[in-house]
Structure 1
Amino acid sequence: MKCIWFVLLVEVMSVVDSHRPLTNGGSYEVSLFSTKAKSIAEVIYMMCLPKVPDYVHATARPSNPSLPHKFNVTILEIKKLSFIVEIERVDQATGWDRMPITVDWFSYIGNGLVYQNLILWFPDATNRTTMNRNTASKYCIDNGGRLVDIVDKAMYDVVYNYCRQSIVFGSDGYVRIWLGSSYNPATDTVTQSNGKPGYHGD
């Protein structure tokens, strides 16, 4: 009996296509000072985007790598040409003198789901395709991603709910989805594609 599989990818690189997510990234330098541990800055994409990104992730660091400052970044607002961040110094609960700070960022535009800075998406949630795991893995790589690994219960719930909401089931009562993880029935263990233990139910 043939099995029907859907392929769920984790986006790991930039791709541009009508059915694929659009990811971009870059770095932007801001000159900031603050008398407190937090400051607000605007980061310009320095590129044209077709619309306001659905998601932006950013980190901040001193442009001078010899400086000891460490920062956390919170995205406050995402706009089409820029995004607004709160930069918080975390190595000390104090402000800092004026200095150049580099904000590294990536943005995402698409119909997938972002979970802990991973982009989960189906190339085509209506396409039922019969393929083995190797073919599925190659298909993912060719589309700029990789098969998804389930790390823990929280991620399982996110992936499960995303599949329920995204897949067009039609007359099928269930679907099967290839994952990056592998299962060893002899030891009853799940191993992620990176060699770390994977989620195996409660």
Structure 2
Amino acid sequence: MTDVDEPQIQFLDNFREIFIFITLWTVTTVAVAYFLAGIRAALVFGCKCSLESPTWAYPILFCIFGAGAGFVHGAPMACVFAALYRSIPYEPGVDIATALGIGQGVLIVYFHLGGGVFIHYRECPEPEEDEVRNMYRDLADNRKLPISNAMTSLDPQSYYNSPTSKLEMEKSTMDRWNLKKRKRRFFRTARIKLFG
């Protein structure tokens, strides 16, 4: 017989252990990723590495935010995983729980950094400002979108034809569109500056 020791694998045999282990690894993964993003943000915004400069706190604040976000988004799924493993007669090892926690943390970081948000923008680009203005002007003038018989009883023509309503409608639409455009530009610029 050989004297080789078999590796000792610790098995997690109750709901609490599985939940805590998966949640801990998820929170750690997200916190580390956000800590690195905080370091990158401090470098981009010009960290002077002095106590007078507020940028030295970016990594710490990002890490705390990442840990909180990791817990908020990771704990419910860790609860589901733990309940699933307890409902079947299976005790996962520490290695399986570690892999689940890290994988879940990577998915959370991916979606937090906008990987899942901008997927559909490649397929249908935003219309230009002039196109939106013309579209709503045509809608207001009732040239391209005819009013159905059901709507004619409400007499919307009087509202659309008044000059103040056209101006208000165009202004509110353009304000909303410009706000969305500015937000999208800000987040795209921040993502490029932070992550290259």
Report TM bin, short chain. Answer: under 0.3
User: Could you say which structure has the higher helix fraction?
Assistant: 2
Higher Cα Rg, which structure: 2
TM-score (norm 2): 0.24
TM-score (norm 1): 0.24
